[in-house]
Structure 1
Amino acid sequence: MSPSSRDIRDRSAWGLALLCLVLAFAFLGSRGLWDPDEGRYSNVALNMLDSGDWLNPKRSSDVGHWTKPPLTYWVIAASVGLFGKTAAAVRLPATLSYLACIWLAWRIARRLVPGGERTAALAYATMLFPFGMSQLVTTDFLLAAFETLAVWACLEARLSGRHAGVWDALMWVGFALAFLTKGPPGLLPLPVLLAADWLVWRRRARFVVPGLLLFCLLALPWYVAVVADNPGLLEYFIGDEVVHRVATDKFGHNGQWYGWLAVYLPTLVLGTMPWSPALWRWLRALPRDLRRWRSAEGRQADAAALFLALWVLLPLLVFCLARSRLPSYLLPLFVPLALLVAVQRRRERRPLPRWPWRAAWVVVLLALKLAASAWPTHKDASQWAVAIRERTAVPVREVIFVEDMTRYGLRLHLDAEIEKIGLDPAPDGVGARFNPVNDEDLATELAEAADQAGAIWICKQSRWPEIRGRIEALGFVATPLGTPYRDRIIFQTRSAAAPR
């Protein structure tokens, strides 16, 4: 390669890196946290940080939150501890995961699609779905980064010919971190790698005892500790968080027979824009590729495309068969989709789109991010915080939602404890113990918080007469604060016997 060509490629790589940083960090903290997801994860993380209890995830001081393993909460809490209680600090782990996936797409392309590194990285960075998810607080971007790390390490162990033991160890580290992020779904690439060992590399799987031991040492201690301290928790993990999410529609996540089509098809078609046409052309050629892959010679000649097809299609089949279906579940598949874009464009000998088209799409992405920060949605917890502060003259130390959607994002924006209560006690049971609908019942919460300054209550305006009547029947008085906000009554309570 001539020096001038090398200089051009270096400048191109640096330009791509700068573009990715702009996409990742522009307007990162320009909007408040959106409930339910951003508020829920940040609330648990802040409870960890403030209480010093990093072992037991809690949604309030008395109620645990066991629906996800702790790694997402740990990294959010660490980010807030380092950079302060801001929305940008809460989102930083997801943003860094987005950048890590771009880098990993580049690195994997060097092995599977030589010369297609820029295409793969640019495709991932500018696909609509990964870009949008990088601005949301969920478990899925950390999961995507750790799963992709494990796959990259596995590829290096098999294809580099050097330091295979080190790469195998890194693979198991990636899977352990993925397991600490989302449990068994973090291991979905394992069947892909096993199938690739059999079909593509024609070698015995390297998943041996030292790697499994490393995985167990990293991934299992937290599970062992919390299960030992909480009798019945293992039953909840296996029953509710694995069996019910896979085999039932208990959580109401599009469990209908057609749910996979309604959720995943638009996610894949719209989420891969503006690169969807290349993937459509790949999909149209897939039957021809499958016929070629019947022979060992065909598989060896087209190993990269076969591996990437396995990486996309096997997990996608699992997601379609499972009864719990959300768009974010597909996020780990967007790295192999970006790599398939590079494979397809190399087959067609298509160069990258000209820079005016790329620049125009980047402007669209940044405009969407800016528009989201100005969108007046009821999900924005910072707007709720403003409405509450306008209605009370004392510092808010607790916000109590009565039979209503809980705005956990207020934990960050008001620095107050957030609770959700029901009018009546909850039924007993494993699910009720470890993932109760409500933290407490009305009578218990009134006894604790009614006369304490700084306790703010919120309920739906349509249920205000009923809830006020229940409060009065328990010997307390409920006083609205100002006018309703978004069809909610914001109020305070006091004992009927207490002086005004």
Structure 2
Amino acid sequence: MLNNTKQQTAYIFYSIIVIIVLRFILTGLIPLLDKTESRYSEIARLMYETQDWVVLQIDYGVPFWAKPPLSTWLSANSFSMFGVNEIAARLPYFLVCLILVFILGKFVKQAGKSFYLPAFILLTTPEFLLHAGVVSTDAVLCLSITLIMISFWKSIENEKRSFWNYLFFIAIALGLLSKGPIVLVLTAPPLFIWLIIQKISIKDVWNKIPWLTGILITIAIALPWYLLAENRSPGFLDYFIVGEHFKRFVVSGWEGDLYGSGHKQPLGMIWVFLLVFSFPWIQFVLIRLWKERKTILKNKWVSFLVLWLLWTPIFFTISKNILHTYTLPVTIPVALLMVHYWHEFKNKKLLFILGSIFPFLVIIATCVVAFGDDKLLEDLNTDKYIVEKLIENEPNTPIYYWGKKSYSSRFYSSGDIKIIKEASIDSISNSNDNFIMLIRHNKIKNVPEEFLEKMVRIDSIKRTSAFKFEK
């Protein structure tokens, strides 16, 4: 098996089809999970409901300054076409990843490589496959970075100007609207270093790329939203530029985060994330690069990809607040390097076996979720099931959340759930004949005992219980 090129091509093709189908099925099987997915989905739902396409909202009337709007626009528009549900929330990011796969396939095919090979590598990379249908800003950022890097390469390598020259600036604008100035931080340094290493003159760069027209294109696409957002929600630019792009990365456990807490990690943890979430392809690439270390800088394409690959983890090495999702853009140069060196790997069978490990686990998980006990889903980090049952069984009963509402409870109640705190218990109980209160199990101890004794527990899942109050 897999002993010749025809068998290998067939295995790659059918693996891609199976993985894509199963990944799409999972977008509907798995509920939106707290905090990240539910948060961004709720922000998009609020945008769709309020029709405010400028100022993102974390709750009704509460602005969300942490991210630009592109990803939210995608989900909100998806809601307008397919209704408010998990698949509609995730569909844009599933499609973005498929677009990435298609772009890389077309790109390597022009160099005489297999159209399907980069798709197989990416879809068997844990970080990429996880993001192929997860509500976040990272997939669109990854697309933006990929377009910036490839269009820059195309612009420098070709003598005649083409759409690639202008796509470079369009991609920068998309990056600014998807994640902000970080897109320049992750792309400009490796490009600048590469130009120096390859001794490409400033004159050539100036002549081959339409800088003046291109910058105007970037400004025309990205700047209007930034100005409108600051105008309608003063303070946005200070929080987003200074807080999100400086303090988040240098201040350990940054306390200025308005929407959560910093993800404090040991210095250098980004490299662990890279090795784990890009398995096994990053390991194969590093082994190959070590063997070719004396000639890397002599090869323009390989040196371009190596700088693209290394810069992101190098940059985040000094960051104290990171997530494994920051390695997503690195999966692209890893895939392109694997395609470049593919013919030099003698034991293709080993590549296929190790590459198929994570997708195989995904297949098992899909079957367990689809045909297993519903309790498995209810035990996930979501309030979907308890909220939906309460709405169905108690349609006219007000529902409150003790202390702080979860994002999933907001999304699945269409924003109807309200907050109840100790100071408001008496006024709420006096104004309602009955109501339901959701309480996280680790927060039950904070509810006044005399009030809790008046309530009856009517439902419970792994992390949350529902209590009913009746006069």
TM-score class, shorter: 0.7 to 0.9
The CA distance in 2 between the partners of 1:49 and 1:454, in whole Å, is 31
Match of 2:192 in 1: 194
Match of 1:237 in 2: 240
Matched, 1:343 2:345: no
Match of 2:402 in 1: 402
The CA distance in 2 between the partners of 1:186 and 1:446, in whole Å, is 50
Aligned to 1:482, which of 446, 458, 465? Answer: 458
**Match of 1:394, as an amino acid?**
P
Matched, 1:226 2:220: no
Distance 1:234 1:274, change over 3 A: closer
Aligned to 2:148, which of 147, 150, 165? Answer: 150
Matched, 1:317 2:314: yes
Match of 1:98 in 2: 97
Give CA-to-partner distance per residue, 1:466-487, whole Å, 9 cap, x none: 4346979xxxx97345154435
Distance 1:449 1:84, change over 3 A: farther
- Once structures 1 and 2 are overlaid, which stretch shifts more, 179-188 or 338-347? 338-347
The CA distance in 2 between the partners of 1:412 and 1:482, in whole Å, is 22
Match of 1:67 in 2: 66
Give 1:490 deviation, angstroms.
Answer: 2.3
The CA distance in 1 between the partners of 2:18 and 2:440, in whole Å, is 44
Aligned to 1:279, which of 285, 300, 306? Answer: 285
2:334 is paired with a residue whose SS is helix
- Once structures 1 and 2 are overlaid, which stretch shifts more, 310-319 or 153-162? 153-162
Matched, 1:32 2:12: no
What TM-score do the two structures reach when normalised by structure 2? Answer: 0.82
Q: How does 1:157-172 map to 2 (within 5 A)?
A: 157-164=155-162, 166-172=163-169
Task: Please say if residues 394 and 454 of structure 1, whose CA atoms lie closer than 8 Å, have aligned partners that are also in contact.
Answer: no
Aligned to 2:274, which of 268, 274, 277? Answer: 268
Distance 1:92 1:470, change over 3 A: farther
The CA distance in 2 between the partners of 1:177 and 1:55, in whole Å, is 16
Q: How does 1:95-134 map to 2 (within 5 A)?
A: 95-110=94-109, 114-115=112-113, 117-134=115-132
Distance 1:329 1:479, change over 3 A: same
- Once structures 1 and 2 are overlaid, which stretch shifts more, 58-67 or 456-465? 456-465
Task: Please say if residues 461 and 484 of structure 1, whose CA atoms lie closer than 8 Å, have aligned partners that are also in contact.
Answer: no
- Once structures 1 and 2 are overlaid, which stretch shifts more, 273-282 or 141-150? 273-282
Match of 1:417 in 2: 416
The CA distance in 1 between the partners of 2:348 and 2:106, in whole Å, is 19
1:417 is paired with a residue whose SS is coil
Task: Please say if residues 120 and 339 of structure 1, whose CA atoms lie closer than 8 Å, have aligned partners that are also in contact.
Answer: yes
1:482 is paired with a residue whose SS is strand
The CA distance in 2 between the partners of 1:217 and 1:329, in whole Å, is 28
The CA distance in 2 between the partners of 1:175 and 1:135, in whole Å, is 23
Q: How does 1:347-386 map to 2 (within 5 A)?
A: 347-348=344-345, 362-371=359-368, 375-376=376-377, 377-386=379-388
Distance 1:117 1:265, change over 3 A: same
5+ residue gaps, structure 2, are 1-5
The CA distance in 1 between the partners of 2:212 and 2:172, in whole Å, is 15
Give CA-to-partner distance per residue, 1:216-240, whole Å, 9 cap, x none: 1111211111112222222222332
Give 1:401 deviation, angstroms.
Answer: 2.9
Task: Please say if residues 57 and 64 of structure 1, whose CA atoms lie closer than 8 Å, have aligned partners that are also in contact.
Answer: yes
The CA distance in 2 between the partners of 1:191 and 1:449, in whole Å, is 59
Distance 1:336 1:394, change over 3 A: same
Task: Please say if residues 24 and 98 of structure 1, whose CA atoms lie closer than 8 Å, have aligned partners that are also in contact.
Answer: no
Task: Please say if residues 387 and 413 of structure 2, whose CA atoms lie closer than 8 Å, have aligned partners that are also in contact.
Answer: yes
Give 1:51 deviation, angstroms.
Answer: 1.2
**Match of 1:198, as an amino acid?**
I
The CA distance in 2 between the partners of 1:172 and 1:340, in whole Å, is 25
Aligned length: 451
Distance 1:172 1:455, change over 3 A: farther
Give CA-to-partner distance per residue, 1:289-342, whole Å, 9 cap, x none: 3xx45xxxxx4x411110011001112111111222100011111011111222
Distance 1:283 1:383, change over 3 A: farther
**Match of 2:326, as an amino acid?**
Y
Task: Please say if residues 16 and 123 of structure 2, whose CA atoms lie closer than 8 Å, have aligned partners that are also in contact.
Answer: no
Give 1:12 deviation, angstroms.
Answer: 8.8
The CA distance in 2 between the partners of 1:465 and 1:362, in whole Å, is 42
The CA distance in 1 between the partners of 2:325 and 2:358, in whole Å, is 22
1:27 is paired with a residue whose SS is helix
Give 1:17 deviation, angstroms.
Answer: 6.1
Aligned to 2:215, which of 187, 212, 215? Answer: 212
The CA distance in 1 between the partners of 2:226 and 2:451, in whole Å, is 41
Task: Please say if residues 119 and 352 of structure 1, whose CA atoms lie closer than 8 Å, have aligned partners that are also in contact.
Answer: no
The CA distance in 2 between the partners of 1:259 and 1:46, in whole Å, is 36
Give CA-to-partner distance per residue, 1:342-361, whole Å, 9 cap, x none: 23333446657697887786
> Percent same amino acid among aligned pairs?
21
**Match of 2:401, as an amino acid?**
F
Task: Please say if residues 281 and 355 of structure 2, whose CA atoms lie closer than 8 Å, have aligned partners that are also in contact.
Answer: no
5+ residue gaps, structure 1, are 1-6, 294-298, 424-441, 495-499
Give CA-to-partner distance per residue, 1:95-153, whole Å, 9 cap, x none: 11211221232234346x64254432311121122112223211111111122122222
Task: Please say if residues 253 and 326 of structure 1, whose CA atoms lie closer than 8 Å, have aligned partners that are also in contact.
Answer: no
Give CA-to-partner distance per residue, 1:192-225, whole Å, 9 cap, x none: 2233333337143337222111111111211111
Matched, 1:460 2:440: yes
**Match of 1:385, as an amino acid?**
V
Task: Please say if residues 478 and 491 of structure 1, whose CA atoms lie closer than 8 Å, have aligned partners that are also in contact.
Answer: no
Give CA-to-partner distance per residue, 1:74-94, whole Å, 9 cap, x none: 100111211122211111111
CA RMSD of the aligned region, Å?
A: 3.6
**Match of 1:125, as an amino acid?**
L
The CA distance in 2 between the partners of 1:363 and 1:463, in whole Å, is 38
- Once structures 1 and 2 are overlaid, which stretch shifts more, 194-203 or 345-354? 345-354
Task: Please say if residues 400 and 456 of structure 1, whose CA atoms lie closer than 8 Å, have aligned partners that are also in contact.
Answer: yes
Match of 1:432 in 2: none
The CA distance in 2 between the partners of 1:90 and 1:267, in whole Å, is 26
Aligned to 1:247, which of 250, 253, 258? Answer: 250
Distance 1:240 1:400, change over 3 A: farther
**Match of 2:143, as an amino acid?**
A
